[in-house]
């Protein structure tokens, strides 16, 4: 009897595995929420806003260069959909809406290594949904429909949640969201806002040539876009509500301050955090990059090139599987 059960089990597993092999390629692509809302590229113009000119030691930039930096600082490319999914299914982890709680503004740097957005302030009262959100943003020329609102933390942007309908509104209870595990861990709970992550979230930190007098209240001139946030405490930020005996808490807790395992949602099965290093000398690195042959599964990625100059960005030279392959490994940073 036992043998028959075992055999049946093996056959079922093999059947499921084979079925998955055939089903997976036929699965419909996940619809892009911007396309679902009928938007096109024209709805997301770049901004040449000069609101951030005091950063990076007042580096003089052309309008095009400013657009590039603004993209780095502000553009979340729809990754708020990923972060919202993780908040709904993460059992207390990755709930960015909770992590931006304005009551924590005075100690965000000390507790989580976060960089507060200059010019903003702690909220004196909750908003219309009972949520505590930083106030007082001044970003001339930054369209909230494209880039969301600033959350008060550099690199995190706030958008209305398109799924927050009348039923979700009727069910919404901010007090329970902040305090009741059963309520906020429900994967069906629809939050009023979604929070997106721009590249700058991990890459912006204090300019070592002009460090802030008070790290909880930096000014624009104290910030560098590319120095890398060597202070970020991933477990305090991503897993503030996870139980200490949970797997998620323990994994995140093993990461030293200033490190992230950018490929930890990919299937490399490695816990491999590394630091957000400064990005520098990119043109020089490109000039010494050797052409390499890209081979194997990496070529299955649409748009992957067969030969490319590999500048070995990323400490492990991850781009030696090609640019698209390297980007596809890092869901956490690229969303």
Nearer to ligand HEC, 19 or 286 (CB): 286
Q: What is the spatial distance between Cα 182 and Cα 176, in angstroms, rounded to a whole number?
A: 9
Nearer to ligand HEC, 135 or 279 (CB): 279
Residue with tokens 């069906």: 188
Token output for 173: 């209870």
Strands (E) across 161-285 are located at: 193-197, 205-206, 223-224, 259-260, 274-275
Minimum CB–partner distance for residue 202 and ligand HEC (Å)? 3
Q: What is the spatial distance between Cα 281 and Cα 217, in angstroms, rounded to a whole number?
A: 30
Q: Beta-carbon neighbour count of residue 75 at 10 Å?
A: 20
Minimum CB–partner distance for residue 63 and ligand HEC (Å)? 20
Nearer to ligand HEC, 88 or 226 (CB): 226
Nearer to ligand HEC, 232 or 294 (CB): 232
Considering only 87-95, 126-134, 180-188, 276-284, which stretch makes contact with ligand HEC by CB under 6 A?
A: 276-284
Minimum CB–partner distance for residue 150 and ligand HEC (Å)? 16
Q: Using CB under 6 A, which of 94, 115, 276, 308 touches ligand HEC?
A: 276
Identify whether the C-beta of residue 266 lies closer than 8 Å to the C-beta of residue 329.
Answer: yes
Dihedral class, residue 314 (left if φ above 0, else alpha if ψ from -120 to 50, else beta): left
Identify whether the C-beta of residue 74 lies closer than 8 Å to the C-beta of residue 227.
Answer: no
Q: Using CB under 6 A, which of 204, 223, 260, 310 touches ligand HEC?
A: 260
Which residues touch 117 (CB under 8 Å, ≥6 apart)?
Answer: 134, 137, 150, 151, 152, 153, 154
Minimum CB–partner distance for residue 166 and ligand HEC (Å)? 34
Q: In the chain, how long is the greatest CA-to-CA distance?
A: 78
Considering only 125-133, 139-147, 274-282, 291-299, which stretch makes contact with ligand HEC by CB under 6 A?
A: 274-282
Minimum CB–partner distance for residue 311 and ligand HEC (Å)? 8
Q: Does 50 bind ligand HEC (CB under 6 A)?
A: no
- What are the Cα distances from residue 277, in Å, to 54, 198, 229? 22, 17, 8
Q: Does 197 bind ligand HEC (CB under 6 A)?
A: yes
Minimum CB–partner distance for residue 313 and ligand HEC (Å)? 4
Strands 156-160 and 149-150: antiparallel
Q: Does 316 bind ligand HEC (CB under 6 A)?
A: yes
Minimum CB–partner distance for residue 56 and ligand HEC (Å)? 16
Which residues touch 290 (CB under 8 Å, ≥6 apart)?
Answer: 309, 310
Q: Does 168 bind ligand HEC (CB under 6 A)?
A: no
Q: Using CB under 6 A, which of 66, 199, 227, 242 touches ligand HEC?
A: 199
Q: What is the spatial distance between Cα 43 and Cα 220, in angstroms, rounded to a whole number?
A: 28
Q: Does 201 bind ligand HEC (CB under 6 A)?
A: yes
Q: Does 71 bind ligand HEC (CB under 6 A)?
A: no
Give the interface with ligand HEC as residue ranges (CB under 6 A): 197, 199, 201-203, 260, 262, 274, 276-277, 279, 313-316, 332-334
């Amino acid at each position: 009897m036992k043998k028959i059960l075992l055999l049946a089990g093996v056959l079922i597993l093999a059947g499921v595995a084979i079925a998955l092999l055939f089903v997976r390629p036929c699965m419909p692509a996940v619809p892009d929420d911007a396309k679902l809302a009928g938007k096109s590229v024209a709805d997301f113009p770049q901004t040449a806003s000069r609101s951030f000119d005091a950063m990076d030691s007042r580096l003089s930039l052309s309008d095009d260069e400013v657009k590039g930096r603004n993209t780095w600082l502000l553009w979340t490319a729809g990754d708020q959909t990923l972060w919202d999914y993780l908040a709904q299914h993460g059992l207390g982890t990755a709930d960015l809406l909770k992590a931006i709680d304005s009551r924590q503004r005075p100690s965000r740097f000390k507790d989580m290594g976060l960089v507060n957005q200059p010019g903003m302030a702690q909220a004196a009262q909750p908003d219309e949904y009972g949520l505590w959100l930083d106030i007082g943003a001044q970003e001339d020329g930054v369209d909230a429909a494209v880039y969301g609102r600033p959350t008060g933390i550099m690199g995190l942007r706030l958008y209305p949640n398109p799924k927050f309908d009348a039923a979700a509104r009727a069910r919404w209870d901010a007090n329970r969201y902040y305090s009741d595990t059963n309520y906020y861990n429900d994967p069906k709970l629809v939050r009023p806002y979604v929070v997106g992550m721009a590249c700058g979230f991990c890459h912006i930190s204090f300019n070592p040539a002009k460090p802030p007098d008070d790290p909880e209240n930096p000014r624009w001139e104290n910030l560098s876009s590319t120095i890398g946030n060597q202070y970020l405490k991933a477990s305090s930020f991503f897993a503030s509500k996870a139980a200490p005996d949970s797997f998620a808490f323990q994994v995140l807790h093993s990461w030293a301050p200033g490190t992230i395992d950018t490929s930890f949602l990919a299937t490399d099965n490695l816990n491999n955090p590394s630091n957000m290093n400064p990005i520098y000398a990119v043109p020089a690195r490109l000039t010494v990059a050797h052409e390499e042959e890209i081979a194997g599964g990496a070529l299955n990625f649409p748009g992957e090139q067969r030969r490319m100059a590999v500048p070995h960005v990323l400490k492990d030279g991850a781009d030696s599987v090609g640019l698209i392959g390297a980007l596809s490994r890092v869901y956490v940073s690229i969303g």
